[in-house]
Structure 1
Amino acid sequence: QDAGKGIPTGKCMMLQQASFYGNILADAGATIKEDGDAFAFYLPATNSKVTVPVVGGGEFTAAFASRPEVVAVQTYLSSATFATSRVQYDNWVSANSGVPLAAYKNPIDRLAAQYLADPKSTFGFDASDLMPAAVGAGSEWKEFTAWFGEGKSIAEVVKAIDASWPKS
């Protein structure tokens, strides 16, 4: 996450990063909005069959009982009412189609929600979110950074990531 430290000072002009990064820049003093110090934009699709690719992460809830109070909580957590109340805080984008874009206070979250709601979008989970934490939040980040930041070969990077995969 050190890659974007040069954005507020003008030493880094573009960075492909997750939507949460806007808050890191804001904490460093940058104004995050379309006409501010930093904002986001969509890169064109590289596959004509997938015109609006959206990569992200997510949280899921599951119930292990069907008691009325459990169903009531499930119903509330899946409602537009809950989702609308939650998106007013930073770093939360809802797949609930009942959430109006105007409910998003964070401009990056609003932009992400706009792409997510596009009927042409195809959503896929970020690969790191599907990996064991030791890999997806550990060795993968470290090794990819060594590849583009330190010149480590892709063959060495892939070998190191594979070696870090838990045995069980």
Structure 2
Amino acid sequence: MELLPLVCLCLLSCSGDGAPPKPSVKILDEKGDKVLLQCEVQGTFPKPTVVWQTLRGEILPAMKTEVTKEDGSYSIILETTVTRGSFFYCFAKLEGTREQSVSGIFAVKRSNHLENYFEGFEIALIVVGLTLPVTALLLFICIYIKRRNEGLTPVSTMAL
């Protein structure tokens, strides 16, 4: 009876998880609203299926696929071009199994310097627009409390 748990432990630890290595994803190039993405899976056997997908699960066409085999393991590089502003996933799946690995990347929208300037200017206006009324209110409260404690006429009844 004591041998059975030992055999099970050996089978679990010796069999490995069987999943392909996690894909490495990056942006290679950007032109206008188009982004060239690269997915790389290194050192796996058997050869996995590697695909780019959208959030909705649509498979994207590969612009370039490079497969190399060295010392019995495969390395795959897959490139695709996408439109900015969405999230994309690279999946590596071993055929005949349910094992897969995934990495995602967000192709951000690029803005030019003028847009960045106005975004900063709008933030400054919001900060100033919120800070001034709050400061004025706090000043009014402080003056009111000081005059009330000194027995003077409240600020609201003073002639301005």
Structure richer in helix, relative to its length: 1
Same topology, TM > 0.5: no
**Please, what TM-score do these two structures have when normalized by structure 2?**
0.20
Whose Rg is larger? 2
**Please, what TM-score do these two structures have when normalized by structure 1?**
0.20
